Structure 1
C-alpha cells in the first residue's frame, strides 16, 4: 500500500570541517543520495526539488525559496534551475539553515512487474550554521515489509523489494561515511539500519494501520484544499458504491464515487499518483458540492459530474458507464495500491 505519510525514515549526521561549508553542499548531497536510489530503481526521472535558506537569528527571515524545481538529467550542470538556486544561496553571507528536499518517483516490484509511485521516497538535506549536515530519507510504501499495512503477508513482494532498500541504505551510508539512525517506531512499522522489523515476529503496532490511519489522513489532506461547507454528501457508506476513473495525461489520479444505498459520495485519490491526485480531488469534490446544491441524489450527482466535469486540467472520466464494487473499502484499497 502507498501512504501519504511516511512508513518509516532514516537519518545520517555529518559534522563538517571547522571552516564551515557553503549551502551548495546540501544540494550536492541530496543529488548524490538520489543517484544511489536511482541505482536500484528506487528513484526515477521527473523528481521535484525544493530549496530554502533561512536566517538562524530569525527563522521567519527566508533569504532563498525555490519550490517545485524539476530534477533534470544533469541537475547540477550550469544553467539548470537547481544550479541557479544553489548559486543564489551560495552568494549569501551569514549563519543560515539550508533545507533541500527531493520528492522521488520510483518503482516497487510485484511478480516482476514495475509499479510507479510518484513519491516512493523523499530526501531531505539540512545544513545548520555551516557546521552540521543532516540527511533524512523517508519512504511511503510498505513494499519493504513482510506483512503489508493491512496485515496481509506478502513474501514475494518483500523478496523483490526489501533487498533493494537494504542496498540503497548501505550505499547512502558509504556515500556519507556514517551508519543511518533509524526513525522511531510509528503506527505503520519500525525502521532498522537495513530496512524494517519483521511485523510477523513482534506483531503490528495497530491492526490494519493503513485503513485506520491513512484514510483519515488522506481525507484531511483533501479537506485542507477546500473551503468549509455543509453543502455536501456523506463521506462514508456501508453500501456498495459505483465509481468512475479519473485520468490525466494517461495516468489514473483518482476515483469519483457514489453509494447505491444512501446519500454518500466522494473522491478517492490514487495515492501513488502523488500530490496531483489531491489537487485534482479538491476540484472534483467541489463539483459534487455543486450537485448537492442542485438537490441531486448521490447517484444522480455521479452521473451529472461525469457529464459536466471540472476543468480538463484536473483529469477526465474515462468510462461511459460506472464500475460497481461491494464496498467503499474495496475502492479505497484500489486507490491505495495501484
Structure 2
C-alpha cells in the first residue's frame, strides 16, 4: 500500500512539474491551420490549393497593395513588417505602409531581405514561382491573396479572417462587399442583351491592354449591366488592336488608372481636374476611337484602380452601374457608399477625386 501511495506521489509531482514548466511552453506555441488559397490560371479558371499557415501570424510580409488594404480593414496591420516597393512608394495607401521597409517588387522580391526579417508568413499575389519555392524551402509559409480578382475578394477576406483569428470582423467586411454587389445585380438582372451597353475597359498597364474573363474588371462590367467586348478573349488580360476596338464600336469606354498616373488623392483643384481632363481627351482623340459611340456621346470615363478591381470595388461598382444605367441607379449616391465603407472599415474620411468626369 505504501508503495502504491509512493508511485501516486511521483505521478502527482511529475504532473505538477509539467504544469509549471512544459505546459506554458506548449500554450505559447503558435498553432498552425490549413487554409485554401485560390490561383487563377491565364485562361481565367480557378484552381485551389491547401496551405498550412500559423494562426495568428505575428510577423507578415505583404506583397501587394490590395492585401495590405485588407489587413488594415481587418485590424491586423500591426503584424505587417514589410511590403513591396510599389505599395510603399507609389500606392502609399493605407498610410501604415509608408512607414514600413520594402523588400523589392511584388513579383521579384529579395528573398534575402524577406528571410532576414524572420516572418512567419508571406502574403503575395503574383510572385515568381521559383522565389516562392525558395521561401517555402526556408520554412516560411506563403499564401496567395490577390485582392484584385473581384469574384474572389470575399473568399480571400474570410481566408485571412481564419488565419488571423478575426473571423467575425472578416465576415462583416466580406458580407458588406457582397451586399453592395447584390444590390447592383438585383437591379440589372432582368436587362435583356439589347439593353446592355458594350464596354471597352482599358487597363492602367497601357493603351489597348484590356480585361477579359478571369480579370477583376470583367464581373464588374457584367454585374453593372454591361457587355464586355473582350468577353470572348482567351486570356484574362488581352492586348487588342485599335482596329478591333473600332469594329466593336463600344458604347462606353472606361480607363482605370493607378494613383501615380492620375494623382487620385488630390484635393480637386483646377490644375488637378485639368490633368484628368487632358488624360480623357487623349483617349477620345485616338483615331480608332474618334468615331465610336462612346466618344460621340461623351461616354468616356476615368476611374481609380483603388475603387474598381479592389476591395473598395464594392463602392466603385456603383459608379460603373450609374454610368451604364443612370435611370436604374438614379437614387444611388456612389460617393456616399464609398464614404461609408472608408469610415466603417478603414477609419478614414473620404478625400480627393476618384472618378472623372465627376457625377452630376
TM-score range, shorter chain: under 0.3
Max radius of gyration: which structure? 2
TM-score (norm 1): 0.25
Greater percentage in strand: 1
Higher relative contact order (CA closer than 8 Å, sequence separation 6+): 1
TM-score, normalised by the number of residues in structure 2: 0.24
